[in-house]
A and B are shown apart, each in its own frame.
Chain A
Amino acid sequence: MSFAHEFGQLTVDGLTIGSLYAVIALGYTLVYGVLTLINFAHSEVFMLGAFGGLFAARALLPAGGATPSGLTSVALVTVGLGAGAASGGLAAFALERGAYRPLRRRGAPRLAYLISAIGASLFAANLAGKEFGRQSVPVPDLFTNGTVGRVLGAAVSVQTVIIFGVAVVMLVVVDRVVAVTRLGQAIRATAQDADTARLMGVDVERVIVATFVLGGLLAGAGGFLYAMTFNASYTMGFVPGVKAFTAAVLGGIGNVRGAVVGGLLLGLVESYGGYVFQASYRDVIAFLVLVGVLLVRPSGLLGEHRRRAA
């Protein structure tokens, strides 16, 4: 069968995984905006969110029971998302408190943040491995995953609708939060010039915490969505973390809409590339695109908007 024949299906799949990359990428980009810091432990926030959501879903759903349907399914997915977001937010808060704030207080050099991030990442992953086991753990079936309809000739499953739908809602909400709310204004002010923002009465420390938590909420909910398809494990954060970071750079780090464009584009490229070439070249193609884009546009597709976080 030809690529043209499967084009619709590959597009749907690519946008689905891409929307998840975008959700995680926002966490990188928001934190980079206010701190000029790549938070490499963000992938572990994502992982902890996945486990949080998974455990909540499991607690409410007795093992071995029938697959729920209708409103029960909706409620369970909502609870899972909520618990995932809460765990992610909490993890991001703890991360900021434990790994970054002490360094900021002491005016540590840039490199110290990087080492601290890697350390926190290894610690969180291995702690999860010890506590939750080294095997992959699935999210229990919260709904019967059938095909709901066809778009461009592609079968769209319930799961695809949930992942893509939730991701899009989150992306729009974050875009609006940053653009119109007082918190968003404070985040943008801090990103433009932290010192001046402080002089203007912005509580910069609070803004930093809020930015971390906002990124954590997104990553946590994203982690739960990801685990519905790919299972949760203590090492699950690494690959999507790297991909989301790539997406953020691709779109222009620090730029909220750039992260969204970068995530969706990366998802599509991977999906097409994995089909046209051997599936094992999926990641190779994704990173070739990154290198290609950065050669032509070093500040990413939509430009690095550090001075205007949105």
Chain B
Amino acid sequence: MAAGAAGLLAIALTVGACGGGSSGSGRPEYIIGFQGPLSGDSSQLGINAINGLRTAVDRANTSGGLPFTLRLVQTDDQGTPEQGPTAAQKLIDNSGVIAVIGPIFSGATKASEPLYSQAKLLSVSPSATNPQLTSLGFGTFFRVIAPDTVQGTAAADYVAKALKAKKVFSLDDKSEYGTGLSTVLKKELAAQGVNVVSDGINPTKDYTSEATKIISEQPDVIFYSGYYGEFALLTKALRAKGFTGAIMSGDGSNDDQFVTQAGAASAEGAYLTCPCGDANSDPKAAGFVADFKRVNNGTRPGTYSGEAYDATNAVIEVLRKLGPGASREAVVRAFSSVDFEGVTKRIVFQPNGEVAGSTVYVYRIRAGKREVLGTTAELMKA
């Protein structure tokens, strides 16, 4: 990880240097901002996303077909609602920033969007899945991922019909994202006639008494709505106490870091759902994966990398049409009618900023690796 952090820094410096050089050549410059967790316990998801953004910016700059150059400016909100507004304000105050990719986490998004709305600055999240976010009247907010109403419902159906669970323990991390997902999940499980017990616990390190509580309920499935850092510790605690039921979580835990932090032995057999496919195993995304590895020192795309790449490319597409010198407001207006074929999906927005269409995938840890089992729809038929 030390090498990773150093690499990140090195790339940031290089990107900065390139940007400066190009603007020296006379072409005007647009800045694309990034807001997300770049430090903190679940920062891998932010790093995955910014690497996707970086890949898109690098591709656009080296393609040579643009009447402007692009530069990336990042702010770190540590994934928390507390840091969100400060991080957003930094980007808003930078007059060169024409659009923002992010925020990454739902809590930070909810806290930051009022500022973006006010500044009429476009913000496209590759990953914030809380259902409420598109109904709060944020005129400048778009996301390229399906909300948790879609994921929660699909995950619940999968648990009820494919795993045939009779009793489910639903635990959330009390965050904007976690409660949003668990609410939908519980509702759909109840509708499917599954017995649901639920609890909420703020992110912590010590899940021993919670594990005792869960095991004493003897559920067939435990579903955790939260991020991988905590899910890893919860999984460790449950397995150490000999829990034999299925352990499951959503997109916030869908990263290889989950396996690393829980340890391969504890993580084995865990299920993860995500409204996102795996670019690494998708033949159509081979070009993206190759570019991604080239730009990011050989790192493979992770969860949200493809979504961030698509979001950035959609923004670049809009900028290309508008040409240099466009206002922030014009970019927001043009973005709402974008129609762009990305590597993860076709990006077309509903009026509220919700991306059209939605497929939920199920992943499972096998022999220490995250594998795609298929979409929930396919798996329930089988």
Chain A residues with CB under 8 Å of chain B are 1, 5-6, 9-10, 13, 16-17, 64, 67, 129-138, 140-141, 144-147, 155, 157, 159, 229-231, 233, 235-236, 239, 270-271, 274-275, 278-280, 282
CB distance from B37 to the nearest CB of A (A): 9
A279 interface neighbour in B39, B213, B263, Cβ under 8 Å: B213
A133 interface neighbour in B5, B216, B236, B239, Cβ under 8 Å: B5
Beyond A131-B2, A136-B232, A159-B240, whether A1 also contacts B209 by CB under 8 A is no
Task: Assess the A231–B232 pair: CB atoms within 8 A.
Answer: yes
A67 to B263, CA, bound (A): 11
Residues 188-205 of B at the A interface (beta carbon under 8 Å): 199-202, 204-205
B265 within 8 A of A: yes
Please give me the residue from chain A that is nearest to B5 by CB atom.
A133
Beyond A136-B261, A147-B242, A280-B202, whether A6 also contacts B1 by CB under 8 A is no
Residues of B in contact with A, size category: 35 or more
A134 interface neighbour in B43, B208, B260, Cβ under 8 Å: B43
Please give me the residue from chain A that is nearest to B216 by CB atom.
A1
Q: Which residues of B contact A146 (CB under 8 A)?
A: 242
A13 to B212, CA, bound (A): 9
Please give me the residue from chain A that is nearest to B241 by CB atom.
A155
Task: Assess the B242–A155 pair: CB atoms within 8 A.
Answer: yes
A230 interface neighbour in B205, B213, B368, Cβ under 8 Å: B205
Please give me the residue from chain A that is nearest to B203 by CB atom.
A280
Task: Assess the A135–B200 pair: CB atoms within 8 A.
Answer: no
A278 interface neighbour in B199, B217, B264, Cβ under 8 Å: B199
Q: Which residues of A contact B237 (CB under 8 A)?
A: 229
B261 interface neighbour in A130, A138, A235, Cβ under 8 Å: A138
CB distance from A48 to the nearest CB of B (A): 15
Map CB proximity to A onto B259-298 as digits: 1 under 8 Å, 0 otherwise: 0111111000000000000000000000000000000000
B40 within 8 A of A: yes
18 further interface pairs, Cβ-Cβ under 8 Å (given A280-B204, A282-B204) = A6-B213, A6-B216, A9-B212, A16-B208, A130-B5, A133-B1, A134-B39, A134-B40, A135-B41, A135-B261, A138-B232, A138-B262, A155-B241, A236-B205, A270-B209, A271-B208, A275-B209, A278-B201
- Please indicate which of the listed interface residues B43, B210, B212 has the most CB atoms of chain A within 10 Å of its own CB: B212
B206 within 8 A of A: yes
B229 within 8 A of A: yes
Please give me the residue from chain B that is nearest to A147 by CB atom.
B242
A138 interface neighbour in B44, B209, B241, B263, Cβ under 8 Å: B263
A16 to B210, CA, bound (A): 15
Map CB proximity to A onto B220-251 as digits: 1 under 8 Å, 0 otherwise: 00000000010011001101111000000000
A13 interface neighbour in B43, B200, B208, Cβ under 8 Å: B208
B74 within 8 A of A: no
A224 to B104, CA, bound (A): 33
Task: Assess the A279–B216 pair: CB atoms within 8 A.
Answer: no
B4 within 8 A of A: yes
B257 within 8 A of A: yes
B174 within 8 A of A: yes
A146 to B265, CA, bound (A): 12
A211 to B261, CA, bound (A): 34
Please give me the residue from chain B that is nearest to A129 by CB atom.
B39
Q: List 17 A-B contacts (CB under 8 A).
A: A13-B208, A13-B209, A17-B206, A67-B265, A130-B5, A132-B1, A133-B1, A133-B2, A135-B43, A135-B44, A136-B41, A138-B263, A145-B239, A146-B242, A233-B41, A274-B209, A279-B209
Q: Which residues of A contact B41 (CB under 8 A)?
A: 135-136, 233, 235
Beyond A1-B216, A130-B2, A230-B206, whether A136 also contacts B229 by CB under 8 A is yes
Beyond A159-B240, A271-B208, whether A278 also contacts B2 by CB under 8 A is no
CB distance from A293 to the nearest CB of B (A): 21
A147 to B239, CA, bound (A): 10
Closest 5 CB pairs of A and B: A133-B1, A274-B209, A1-B216, A279-B201, A230-B205
A274 to B257, CA, bound (A): 27
A136 to B234, CA, bound (A): 14
A130 to B9, CA, bound (A): 11
A298 to B56, CA, bound (A): 62
Q: Which residues of A contact B242 (CB under 8 A)?
A: 146-147, 155, 157
Q: Which residues of B contact A138 (CB under 8 A)?
A: 232, 260-263
A280 to B204, CA, bound (A): 8
Please give me the residue from chain B that is nearest to A1 by CB atom.
B216
Map CB proximity to A onto B24-48 as digits: 1 under 8 Å, 0 otherwise: 0000000000000001110110000
A5 to B233, CA, bound (A): 25
Q: Which residues of B contact A230 (CB under 8 A)?
A: 205-206, 233
CB distance from B247 to the nearest CB of A (A): 16
A1 to B43, CA, bound (A): 37
A9 to B2, CA, bound (A): 39
Q: Which residues of B contact A9 (CB under 8 A)?
A: 212
A233 to B42, CA, bound (A): 12
Beyond A135-B1, A157-B240, A233-B41, whether A282 also contacts B200 by CB under 8 A is no
Please give me the residue from chain A that is nearest to B173 by CB atom.
A280
A131 to B209, CA, bound (A): 33
Task: Assess the A135–B257 pair: CB atoms within 8 A.
Answer: yes
A52 to B170, CA, bound (A): 37
A137 interface neighbour in B1, B43, B209, Cβ under 8 Å: B1
A270 to B205, CA, bound (A): 13
Task: Assess the B209–A145 pair: CB atoms within 8 A.
Answer: no
Q: Which residues of B contact A236 (CB under 8 A)?
A: 205
Task: Assess the B232–A282 pair: CB atoms within 8 A.
Answer: no
Please give me the residue from chain B that is nearest to A271 by CB atom.
B209
Q: Which residues of B contact A10 (CB under 8 A)?
A: 209, 212
Q: Which residues of A contact B216 (CB under 8 A)?
A: 1, 5-6
CB distance from A32 to the nearest CB of B (A): 26
A132 to B4, CA, bound (A): 10
A136 to B206, CA, bound (A): 14
Please give me the residue from chain A that is nearest to B260 by CB atom.
A138
B5 interface neighbour in A134, A141, A145, Cβ under 8 Å: A134
Task: Assess the A282–B209 pair: CB atoms within 8 A.
Answer: yes
